[in-house]
Amino acid sequence: MSKNYKLQNILFCDNDRLEAYWEMFFKSSRPVYDREKKNIVLGAGQVIDFCTYFNSISLLKWKTYTYAEKLILKLRVKGEMEILLTGYEKKDTQYIRKVLRRAKVSAAEEQEISLEYPENDLMVAGFEIHTLGVCVIYGGEYATEVEEDQMRHVSLHLCTTTFKKEDYILPNIQLLKDTVLAGNDSIAENLWIHVVDNGRTLPAEEIQTEHVMVHPNLNVGGAGGFTRGMLEAMDHKEKPTHVLLMDDDVMILPESLIRTYNLLKIVRPEYEHHFISGAMLFYEEMNFLYEDVGFMDHEGTYGPLKDRVDTRKIEDVLRCEEIIHEPKNAYAGWWYCCIPAEFVRKDNLPLPVFVRGDDVEYSLRNKAKFITLSGICIWHMGFTNKFNGAMEFYQVHRNTLMLQAASGVCQNADIMTRIRKLIRVNLLRFNYDGAELLLDAVEDYMKGYKFFMKNQGEKLLKEKSQKNEQMEPLSNFPEAPTKVFSVYAPDLPRKPWETFLYRITYNGHFWPEKLLKKETVPVAYDWYYSPHRYFFRRRLLAVNPHLKMGAYREMDKKRFFELFSRERKLFSRYNKIHVRLEKEYRNHRKEFTSESFWRKYLEIDK
């Protein structure tokens, strides 16, 4: 017997932060959204297009991954209007807009209408409303019809880990309580939220309900926090069918959970083993989607699989929606990652890397495949403004070496060559602390598997963070550029003799200081490499244009030669022991990922 089944809700822009980005929801000349009544009011002769990032539906994906073979639009409206059922299909390299059906509606009072889409080959479907008088749109949804035996039970356990970020985690929990858990959909009865409190500062008695649990935890980073959440989910009386891992310092959209749950309920058996990978959008520029699936390339660089997406542009949305082949070393970030319970086992837990790389290794170890959908996303706080040397140089590279050795993943990536290049680059631009952090990463990895078995992540991160550049407001520096983002301008070409001298003298470290240039020049503080700017300078001004902060970098030959010597000794020793070292890590991987190890590490009783 077939049953009407909701796929996703039509969303209005009812979030204060998103008000400036309303084109992610709908396109119109003069949209009037009544925040109090939660409806859209349109005048005569207006057109409003809902074929957008949040209000189109990934039709090809729903048809592929689930039993949603037909599509029905349900709307609650009032007024005289014509509704167009629209969408886009791909022909060769072009996206072609299609109008599948037109329907005139005349409703003196609020009325629900239901329109079925004709058979089609659309990638993405949507709709438009052309008003013939004053019209009101109260809400709506996309639905399908499925057989009852095609629907499965879903018990979704959301695990989020936090460390003294009450400003983020408390509003997120309250929002989910007020929306998803208070709703009439079946997800309200089948969603369980585990808040792992690494800082032990949350008022648990004020937060906890039947469906929300707080677990005080040691500060064991994201890896340890998510592991604790997995263990708690597995031990819960309502056994999970899926575990959803989500960062704490994010802005969430309750609809993302609803769409995730609704997909899982009717997923086809051949796709029930896929991870659902939510997109990460920039909190600072909320229309830009940074990543929905990432990968590591052969040089050991982590990054998004797709080009940057402006979710206000339908061409970008369509490009993002294409089902594309996932390359080797693809992974889902744990800012929003829904994992089938078959993978969340007590003999298959994350590696104890504290932060960075745990999500990459877990995806690769489990040979994960991914589902992405428009509107399943979060906005990440502070992601674009910060470059943290302790994280990017020490934590990332140390952990990548460890996961590569322990799990045998990313074997096509030459991490050591990457590290040596980065050490050289940082020495050339006088970022001696950055070079030292990279050397620390290799040295700590070379201490072997026992180093990672100790719960010392918090201590190490504090220690390494002391080596981050201490930046001050740019107003303190006379050399600060007026146009701060000019530090990312294309670098000028060097003359052949300049390139030669730059390389053989390590940018003046093997050169008389009196022959170096005295003028201080501004340079980018992060990954951006501009050797022409650095050439034969005594001092650079490292600039963070996002935060308008800066720090001087002075040539220090004594520090250079200390690090230069340390690098050679360290890599000479690495070359002698790396085969044995990798074997030891590989032999202890099962121990690292076991329940017995983690319970001891987390200091929790069985």
> Does residue 426 belong to any structural domain of this protein?
yes
Q: How confident is residue 60, by pLDDT bands cut at 50, 70 and 90?
A: very high
- Does 334 share its domain with 190? yes
- What mean pLDDT do residues 274-281 have? 97
* Backbone phi, psi, residue 145, to 5°: -125, 130
- Does 347 share its domain with 471? no
Q: How confident is residue 33, by pLDDT bands cut at 50, 70 and 90?
A: confident
C-beta atoms surrounding 100 within 10 Å: 18
- What mean pLDDT do residues 518-526 have? 97
- Does 171 share its domain with 226? yes
Geometric angle at alpha carbon 35, from 32 and 40, rounded to 5°: 35
Within 8 A by CB and 6+ apart from 374, the residues are: 53, 54, 56, 57, 58, 124, 317, 320, 321
- Does 436 share its domain with 487? yes
- Does 398 share its domain with 541? yes
> Does residue 594 belong to any structural domain of this protein?
no
Of 263, 288, 265, nearest in space to 277 by CA: 263
Q: How confident is residue 605, by pLDDT bands cut at 50, 70 and 90?
A: confident
- Does 302 share its domain with 187? yes
- Does 254 share its domain with 317? yes
- Does 138 share its domain with 109? yes
Q: How confident is residue 34, by pLDDT bands cut at 50, 70 and 90?
A: confident
Q: Show the 3-state SS of 236-288.
A: CCCCCCEEEEEECCEEECHHHHHHHHHHHHCECHHHCCCEEECEEEECCCCCE
- What mean pLDDT do residues 4-33 have? 89
> Does residue 454 belong to any structural domain of this protein?
yes
pTM equals 0.95
- Does 515 share its domain with 403? yes
C-beta atoms surrounding 2 within 10 Å: 11
> Does residue 600 belong to any structural domain of this protein?
no
* Per-residue pLDDT reduced to its tens digit, 547-591: 999 999 999 999 999 999 999 999 999 999 999 999 999 999 999
- What mean pLDDT do residues 25-42 have? 86
Within 8 A by CB and 6+ apart from 93, the residues are: none
> Does residue 190 belong to any structural domain of this protein?
yes
Geometric angle at alpha carbon 488, from 486 and 489, rounded to 5°: 65
- Does 314 share its domain with 217? yes
Instruction: Determine the 3-state secondary structure of 196 from DSSP.
Output: strand
Q: What is the pLDDT of residue 458?
A: 94
- Does 168 share its domain with 265? yes
Domain endpoint, select from 330, 355, 380? 380
* Per-residue pLDDT reduced to its tens digit, 528-543: 999 999 999 999 999 9
- What mean pLDDT do residues 89-108 have? 95
* Per-residue pLDDT reduced to its tens digit, 430-449: 999 999 999 999 999 999 99
- Residue 489 near residue 528, CB atoms below 8 Å: no
> Does residue 438 belong to any structural domain of this protein?
yes
Q: What is the pLDDT of residue 382?
A: 67
DSSP 8-class letter at 413:
-
- What mean pLDDT do residues 329-353 have? 97
Q: Is the pLDDT of residue 30 over 70?
A: no
* Per-residue pLDDT reduced to its tens digit, 358-414: 999 999 999 999 999 999 999 997 665 678 999 999 999 999 999 999 999 999 999
Instruction: Determine the 3-state secondary structure of 412 from DSSP.
Output: coil
Domain endpoint, select from 518, 541, 558? 558
Segments of 54-116 assigned E as strands: 72-91, 94-116
CATH number of the domain residue 168 falls in: 3.90.550.60
- Please report, for residues 193, 198, 242, 276, 548, the alpha-carbon distance to residue 223 in angstroms, rounded to integers and kept in the order given: 18, 11, 18, 19, 32
- What mean pLDDT do residues 16-22 have? 90
189 is in which domain, residue-wise?
Answer: 156-380
Of 129, 132, 117, 139, nearest in space to 51 by CA: 129
Number of domains the chain is built from: 3
Percent pLDDT > 70 in the chain is 99
Within 8 A by CB and 6+ apart from 74, the residues are: 112, 113, 114, 140, 141, 142, 143
Q: How confident is residue 35, by pLDDT bands cut at 50, 70 and 90?
A: confident
Q: Is the pLDDT of residue 32 over 80?
A: no
> Does residue 516 belong to any structural domain of this protein?
yes
> Does residue 410 belong to any structural domain of this protein?
yes
Domain endpoint, select from 328, 362, 380? 380
DSSP 8-class letter at 349:
P
Percent pLDDT > 90 in the chain is 93
- Does 48 share its domain with 123? yes
d(CA 421, CA 419): 5
Of 223, 234, 162, nearest in space to 197 by CA: 162
